[in-house]
Structure 1
């Protein structure tokens, strides 16, 4: 997944532990790689049936590649790279959040 994120994220852990900012959550690309076929499940909340898929989920924070780039445009580039890497994949977007205290 790191190759698809490219220059938008640091792919090695910082040696100083990084900086924590209270109330801040970076934008994330979430990749779900489905394994096998869906099985019918029933929602405990709505009682409606849906297909539930087994698989693995991976998330990766990302930032803007340039100072003029928009967050969602960057996500669309990442999404394209992740989807072209193989089948049975879904990519979702979690926007950046900054809650002032």
Structure 2
């Protein structure tokens, strides 16, 4: 839930709409990070389970932490950007 700008805010309507577009773009971006990370984890487990050759197993073992790292990176960036957007919306 995003805080509403104060009524005495000096932000114009176009500024507030731009901040809202930025907030929505931030949400889309975190969803893309989550989707990519989950796909990497699923691909990693699939390679480990369906192929028994060492090359594919090691590739799968590498995909899983990369996928988890991608999710963590995306969530971290989302939270940092969300904080900056909230600060911009509350600026007098």
What TM-score range do you get, normalising by the shorter chain?
under 0.3
> Larger strand proportion, structure 1 or 2?
1
> Larger helix proportion, structure 1 or 2?
2
TM-score by length of 2: 0.25
TM-score by length of 1: 0.23
